[in-house]
A = this chain, B = another copy of it.
C-alpha cells in the first residue's frame, strides 16, 4: 500500500454555521479588510448584509464582489482581484464558480500578478496567499476541499490553476444554505458529486487513503439525493448531500476523475451546459463499458452503493437518475454539433489526463462510440 493524501482544512459543519464566518475571520488575526465573493442571488439576499454587519462588529470591513455569472471567466477574475486590493481575507460563498473565483483571487491579490501568470502551472503560486474561508451553497463541486480551480481564458479556452495555495484555510458547510437549490440543480450537482467519488475511487490513481472519503461520499449522497430532490427543504437529506460532496471533493483532490469528466469537459467546450448534467449523461453512457474492468476498486465502489457486483452499477445509476427526474437530453444549443465535434474535443490535449486516468484503456474507437451515444441525446430544435 502506498499513497499520499493532501492536507484537509478545518471544517465546520451545521445548520446556521455560516453565522460563524465573522468569528472565524477574526480568529485568523490581522484581518482588517475582507472581500466577499458571492453568487449574485446571495448578494441580493439578506445574507450579504448580515455577514457584512457581523464582520463589521469584529472590526473587519467587508466589500462585496458579485459581478459574475456562469462559469468563471478571466474578466470576472480580474475584477475580483481588483476588488480584493488591500484585503487580508477572501470569503467565497456560492457554487463552484464563486469558490473558484475566491481561491484564485486570494492568490493573485497577494502577489499582484494576473491569473494568466499562474494558468496551466506556468509559474509557482505565491507562498502566502490571502486567507480563505469557503462556504459552498451547492452540494456538487467539492471545490471547498480541492486545490483546483477552472476558468475560461480570453479565447474561450478552459484553463486551470492548481496548487496547495488555492486551498481553503477554513471550510464552512451550512446545509441551510442549500435548502433553496431547485430540484434539477440539486439532482445535477448531486450526481456530479457522486461521480467525483466514483471516479476518484476507481480510476488508475485510486488509493486506500482517498477511498475512505470516496466511499463515505457515495453512501451519504445515495442516502440524501433522491430525498433532497423530492423534498428540497428536508434538512437531514441536505446535510448528507453537502457532507458527501465535501468528501467527494477530498477524493478528487487526491485522485482526480476519469472518462465521464473527459466527456463532460468536452461537451462544455461545444456549448453551455450545466457541469453536473453533462457529467451525469456522460457517466450513464460509459458505465456499462467501464464496469467490465471488474477491478477490486470497482467491487468496493459497488459495495459502497450496497451492490454485490460492479455489473449491477449501470442499472442502479440509471434508476437513481430516473428517481432524480434527470431528463436525458442535451440543451438545444447542441443541435448544431455532431458526434465528430464532441470526439475531437474529447481528444483535445487538456482532456487527456482524464482519459488516461480511466481504469480501462480508452482507444479512439471508444471515444467515437461514446461521442455518438452522448450526442444522440441532442434535442431537435
What's the least CB distance linking A160 to chain B, in Å? 21
Residues of B within 8 A of A15 (CB): 2
- Judge whether A1 and B29 touch: CB under 8 Å: no
Partner among B4, B11, B14 whose Cβ is within 8 Å of the Cβ of A13: B4
Are A14 and B2 in contact (CB-based, < 8 A)?
A: yes
Q: Within the complex, which residue of B10, B29, B212 is in contact with A7, where a contact is CB–CB below 8 Å?
A: B10
| CB-CB nearest in chain B for A208 | B243
> A6 contacts the other chain (Cβ, under 8 Å)?
yes
Give the residues in chain B near A4, CB-CB below 8 Å: 10-13
Chain copies in the assembled complex: 2
Indicate if the CB atoms of B10 and A5 lie closer than 8 Å.
yes
Residues in B whose Cβ lies below 8 Å from that of A29: 127
Interface presence of A209 (CB below 8 A): yes
User: Which residues of A62-100 have CB atoms within 8 Å of chain B's CB atoms?
Assistant: none
B8 touching A13 by the CB < 8 A rule?
A: no
In the complex, what distance in Å separates the CA atom of A8 from the CA atom of B3? 15
A216 to B15, alpha carbons, bound, how many Å? 26
User: Which residue of chain B lies nearest to A30 when distances are taken between CB atoms in the complex?
Assistant: B127
* A50 proximal to B (CB < 8 A): no
Are A3 and B14 neighbours in the complex by a CB distance under 8 Å? yes
Decide: A1 near B212, CB < 8 A? Known: A7-B9, A29-B127: no
Q: Could you tell me which residues of chain A, from 25 to 81, have a CB within 8 Å of some CB in chain B?
A: 29
Please report the C-alpha to C-alpha distance between residue A127 and residue B27 in the assembled complex, in whole angstroms. 12
CA distance A6 to B6 in the complex (A): 14
Q: Which of B1, B13, B247 contacts A2 (CB 8 A)?
A: B13
The answer, among B127, B209, B247, for a CB contact under 8 Å with A11, is: B209
Verify B6–A10 contact, CB threshold 8 A.
yes
Closest residue of chain B to A16 (Cβ to Cβ) is: B2
Q: In the complex, which residues of chain B have a beta carbon less than 8 angstroms from the beta carbon of A1?
A: 13-14, 236, 239, 243
Name the residue of chain B whose CB is nearest to the CB of A172: B4
**Are A13 and B3 in contact, CB atoms less than 8 angstroms apart?**
yes
A6, A7, A9, A14, most chain B CB atoms within 10 A:
A7
Instruction: List the B residue with the shortest CB-CB distance to A124.
Output: B29
- Residue A351 is within 8 A (CB to CB) of chain B in the complex: no
A17 within 8 A of B: yes
* Measured CA separation A3–B13 after assembly (Å): 5
Cα A236 to Cα B2 in complex, Å, equals 11
A216's partner among B5, B8, B212, B243 (CB-CB below 8 A) is B212
Residue of B nearest to A168 (CB): B7
Q: Which of A116-135 contact B (CB under 8 A)?
A: 127
Q: A11: which B residues are within 8 A, CB to CB?
A: 4-5, 209
Most buried by B among A11, A15, A29: A11
Q: Which residues of B have CB within 8 Å of A212?
A: 212-213, 216, 247
CB-contacts of A355-379 with B (<8 A): none
In the complex, given contacts A2-B17, A7-B7, A212-B247, what are 9 additional A-B residue pairs having Cβ atoms less than 8 angstroms apart? A1-B239, A1-B243, A3-B14, A4-B10, A4-B11, A5-B11, A29-B127, A209-B243, A212-B213
Residues of A within 8 A of B (CB): 1-15, 17, 29, 127, 208-209, 212-213, 216, 236, 239, 243, 247
Q: What are 20 A-to-B residue pairs whose CB atoms are below 8 Å? A: A1-B13, A1-B236, A1-B243, A2-B14, A2-B15, A2-B17, A4-B10, A4-B11, A4-B13, A5-B8, A6-B10, A7-B7, A7-B8, A7-B9, A13-B209, A29-B127, A208-B243, A212-B212, A212-B216, A212-B247
